[in-house]
């Protein structure tokens, strides 16, 4: 038979040694190498996730730094009082006659509170342009949301031409709950 070689004691011990060696490799693989490979894969995944978290945190810190550079352009409080004063000063400088300046309901707007004010005025178109430019060049962010100018009635040639103007302007205050 083909297993005759096993009768030779030297070949038998070589075969047993090879079998024990193979069994040792299987045991080592099952109990040592496989757990180490799984542990290594888990550590690699943890490292990848850590890098991703680090990248996200770095991006968030960069955005926060950019936002902090612009913090000065937002309103200091949710009150419309400073905006109404700024509207009055801009109107005085621009030659606009204010009829009314009315604060509107403050409303959430993304990460900010929107502080709207409704303005009714009479002025010429050049004064309106100066007024709008003055509002938009304030140190705080002021946005003109709506502007409506009604054409003046035909007046005698010696009367000055003025339009009735309605503007809605807004300033923004960061919502501390969102930041």
3-state secondary structure of 8: coil
CATH class given for the domain over 73-174: alpha beta
The mean predicted confidence, pLDDT, of the chain is 84
Q: pLDDT at position 99, please? A: 96
At 156 the pLDDT is: 57
- Provide the pLDDT for residue 178: 64
Residue 115 contacts by C-beta under 8 Å, 6 or more apart in sequence? Answer: 75, 78, 79, 80, 83, 103, 106, 170, 171, 172, 173
Q: How would residue 159 be classed by pLDDT, with cut points 50, 70 and 90?
A: low
Residues 43-71: tens digit of each pLDDT: 888 888 888 888 888 988 888 888 777 77
Please determine, for residue 118, whether its predicted confidence score (pLDDT) is greater than 60.
yes
Over residues 96-106, the mean pLDDT reads: 96
Let me know: does 168 contact 118? Beta carbons within 8 Å: yes
Hunting for tokens 């955005």 — which residue is that? 63
User: Where are the domains positioned within the chain?
Assistant: 2-69, 73-174
Above 80 in pLDDT, residue 18? Answer: no
Q: What does the block give as tokens for 25?
A: 């490799």
Q: pLDDT class for 2, splitting at 50, 70, 90?
A: low
Averaged pLDDT for residues 130-155: 88
pLDDT higher at 117 or 35: 117
Q: Report the distance separating Cα 11 and Cα 73, nearest Å.
A: 90
pLDDT (0 to 100) of residue 165: 95
SS3 115: strand
Percentage of residues of the chain with pLDDT beyond 70? 87
- Contact, 83 vs 131, CB < 8 A? no
Backbone angles phi, psi at 63, to 5 degrees: -65, -40
Return the pLDDT at 106: 93
* Residue 77 pLDDT level (bands cut at 50, 70, 90): confident
CA separation for the pair 34, 172 (Å, rounded):
59
Torsion, CA 108, CA 110, CA 111, CA 116, rounded to 10: -40
| pLDDT value of residue 105 | 95
What 3-state DSSP class applies to 121? strand
Q: What is the per-residue pLDDT for 153?
A: 66
pLDDT of 154 higher than 70:
no
Q: Which pLDDT score, from 0 to 100, does residue 61 have?
A: 87
CA atoms within 13 A on the CB side of 60: 7
Element (H, E) at 85: helix 81-94
Q: How far is CA 66 from the centre of its chain?
A: 10
Query: Rounded distance, CA 144 to CA 117, Å?
Result: 10
């Amino acid at each position: 038979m083909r297993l005759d070689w096993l009768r030779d004691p030297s070949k038998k011990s070589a075969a047993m040694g090879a079998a024990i060696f193979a069994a040792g490799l299987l045991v080592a693989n099952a109990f040592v190498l496989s757990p180490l490979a799984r542990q290594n894969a888990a550590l690699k995944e943890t490292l990848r996730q850590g890098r991703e978290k680090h990248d996200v945190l770095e991006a968030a810190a960069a955005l926060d730094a950019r936002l902090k550079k612009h913090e000065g352009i937002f309103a200091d409080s949710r009150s419309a009082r400073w905006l109404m004063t700024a509207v009055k000063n801009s109107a005085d400088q621009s030659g606009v006659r204010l009829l009314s300046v009315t604060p509107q309901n403050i409303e959430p707007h993304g990460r900010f509170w929107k502080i709207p004010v409704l303005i009714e005025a009479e002025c010429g178109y050049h004064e309106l342009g100066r007024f709008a430019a003055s509002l938009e060049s304030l140190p705080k962010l002021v946005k003109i949301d709506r502007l409506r100018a009604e054409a003046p009635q035909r007046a005698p040639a010696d009367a000055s031409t003025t339009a009735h103007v309605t503007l809605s302007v807004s300033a923004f205050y960061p919502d501390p709950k969102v930041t």
